[in-house]
Amino acid sequence: MSTHTGSTPANPQTGGTADASRAAGRALRDAVPFGQHAAWQPESARPDPVERVLAGNAGRQERFIPLRMQRMAESPFAFLRGAATVMAWDLAKSPSIGHNVIIDGDAHINNFGLFRTPRQDVVFDLNDFDETLVGPWEWDLKRLTASINVAARENGVDPAGRERAVRSACAGYRTTMATLWQVNPYDLWQMRSYASALHMDAPTRLDAEEKATIEKTVERAMKRSHATMLAKVAEPVGKGYRFKVDPPILTQLDAAEKNHVIDGLKAYLQTIAGEWRMMLERYDVADVAHRVVGVGSVGTRAYLVLMLGRALGDPLFVQVKEGIVPAAAPFVPPLDEPFQHQGRRVVHGQRLMQSSSDALLGWTTISGRYFYVRQMKQIRGSIPVDWLHGATFDFYAWCLGMLLARAHARTGDAALIAGYCGSSDKLDAAYATWAERYGAQTVADHAAFCAAISQGRVPAK
């Protein structure tokens, strides 16, 4: 049985045995030598990055666009986060062995985090899938390594340290794939990265202080819950609760829009498992508000729904977030018809890539627009980027590479990718060179963006 999300399949096993796939991967090194991945120089036809960003505002809520622009202007890393459309054009021109998997599409360093599974374990994994689609595995690895380089620059890490962190991420990806091609699919689907044991797997040894940094983040994540969120964002009104207005981040809706969201939740219920649908029937909607999230997502429609249990009054928050066409979509074959629904595309990609997805993850349509729905507090935290220096950064980068490899192995041919990547560090070195060059490009693009704001070409506040 084979399942994929697009007319270009993720082609698990290219035919024959895993050993044959691995040999085919090795042969591809002649067609696409490792050194090609190191190259970066903007083409003469490269679109103006500022124009690409402005074009990406189409369809977003106009009143939030200046806020999105301002958030992107805060730093080169913030610009990288919001400028997926810029990097998508660049990646489409980059070398690839032509093997497609389900990619995250936006696998930058901040899109990994801690969250609870339905069994209440805290695991570490990819946690943002707005840009997911079928595409070359290299695109995710390049987005990740570029983000590591740019984040390292902002943390004052020197070129040698930046190279070491990127090499760690690539080594994590490469060595993990070398193991996973020998794992049967059932066991692969059961693999989890438990937050409490992260430091046990990485080759980088952490000292006591560095381990304490990781443990502090896990401990803080464990304390977050729907109940703690209630006190922060809502206030009691009569026998119920309503959201505290905090413009522009959290704003109330008019009655009509609120009713449209509530009606959309009825259709959403049909996209989750029956036992969880029955559980949600024990809750009533108390309030709905619009909540601005992230950097790249600012301007899309994102609603926060507060539900209260009928018997105990316990709170449950869900996010209803608009799914838009991913930035890389123009550069890959179109998805099959069911996944033209952008909310369903996000859900399907997340279920395939994550080791343990949110049980309440589903999709719906509201006023003709596509949305996906998830628990708001299922995602509980991530390692702050400004904590990352030295061995901690190298360790964290290795973990991200490992997680990305596992996600790709679930839908791609792990033997083929492992055969191509090989056992030496030559691929790691090529990606480190590319990330350094693209990191410099991102700094330059950010400077041009800030200049466009100063000139009044880009609205920001």
Same domain for 90 and 212? yes
pLDDT band at 171 (very low <50, low <70, confident <90, very high): very high
310 and 207, same structural domain?
Answer: no
| Mean pLDDT over the full length of the chain | 91
* Residue type present at position 163: E
How many Å apart are CA 78 and CA 460, to the nearest integer? Answer: 14
Question: Looking at residue 8, what is its pLDDT?
Answer: 39
Percent of the chain with pLDDT over 90: 77
Instruction: Determine the pLDDT at residue 377.
Output: 64
Out of 28-42, 70-84, 216-230, 276-290, which region has the weakest mean confidence (pLDDT)?
216-230
Same domain, 22 and 163: yes
Residues 172 and 301 occupy one common structural domain: no
Q: Does the structure show a pLDDT above 60 at 370?
A: yes
pLDDT greater at residue 86 or residue 379: 86
The strand pair at 250-252 and 283-291 is best described as antiparallel
Q: 176 in a domain, yes or no?
A: yes
- Which helix or strand (DSSP H or E) is residue 287 part of? strand 283-291
Asked if residue 72 is part of any domain, the answer here is: yes
321 pLDDT above the threshold of 50: yes
Query: How far is Cα 350 from Cα 353, in angstroms, rounded to an integer?
Result: 5
Q: How many CA atoms lie within 13 A of 116 on its CB side?
A: 19
Q: Is residue 11 part of a domain?
A: no
6 falls within a domain: no
Question: For the range 311-318, what are the long-range contacts, defined as Cβ-Cβ under 8 Å and sequence gap of 24 or more?
Answer: 311/282, 314/226, 314/227, 315/226, 315/227, 315/229, 315/230, 315/234, 315/241, 316/226, 316/283, 316/375, 317/226, 317/229, 317/230, 317/375, 317/376, 317/377, 318/360, 318/373, 318/374, 318/375, 318/376
Last residue of a domain, one of 379, 397, 426: 379
pLDDT beyond 60 at 302: yes
Choice among 52-56, 71-75, 261-265, 336-340 with the minimum mean pLDDT:
336-340
| Residues 190, 50 share a domain | yes
Same domain, 361 and 407: no
Q: Is residue 123 domain-resident?
A: yes
Instruction: List, in sequence order, every residue forming a beta bridge with 281; answer none if it has no partner.
Output: none
Whether residues 66 and 215 share a domain: the answer is yes
> What phi and psi, each to the nearest 5 degrees, are found at residue 84?
-60, -30
What's the rounded mean pLDDT across residues 185-210? Answer: 73
Q: What are the CA-CA distances from residue 138 to residues 94, 125, 334 (Å)?
A: 9, 19, 19
pLDDT band at residue 7 using 50, 70 and 90 as cut-offs: very low
Does 8 reside within a domain?
Answer: no
Same domain, 191 and 290: no
278-306 burial: b if 16+ Cβ within 10 Å, else e: eeeeebeebbbbbbbebbbbbbbbbbbbb
Given this model, what pLDDT does residue 380 score? 63
Q: pTM for this structure?
A: 0.93
Q: Which of the four pLDDT bands, split at 50, 70 and 90, describes residue 392? A: confident
- Domain identity same for 86 and 217: yes
Taking the CA atoms of 390, 146, 299 and 373 in sequence, report the sign of the dihedral they define.
Answer: negative
Look at residue 400 and tell me if it is in a domain.
yes
Q: Among 350, 379, 408, give the residue marking a domain's end.
A: 379
Cis peptide before 236 (omega within 30 of 0): no
Give residue 154's domain range: 18-223+389-454
Residue 227 banded pLDDT, cuts 50, 70, 90? confident
* Distance (Å, whole) CA 54 – CA 150: 22
**Domain C-terminal end among 379, 400, 417:** 379
Which pLDDT score is estimated for 204? 67
Q: Is the pLDDT of residue 129 over 60?
A: yes
Split into its structural domains, the chain has a count of 2
Regarding whether 352 and 302 lie in a shared domain, the answer is yes
- 50 and 168 both lie in a single domain: yes
Strands 112-116 and 234-237: unpaired
Do residues 340 and 395 share a domain? no
Mean pLDDT for 306-332 is 94
- Is 208 inside any structural domain? yes
Q: Which range among 59-68, 350-359, 383-392, 418-427 shows the weakest confidence by mean pLDDT?
A: 383-392
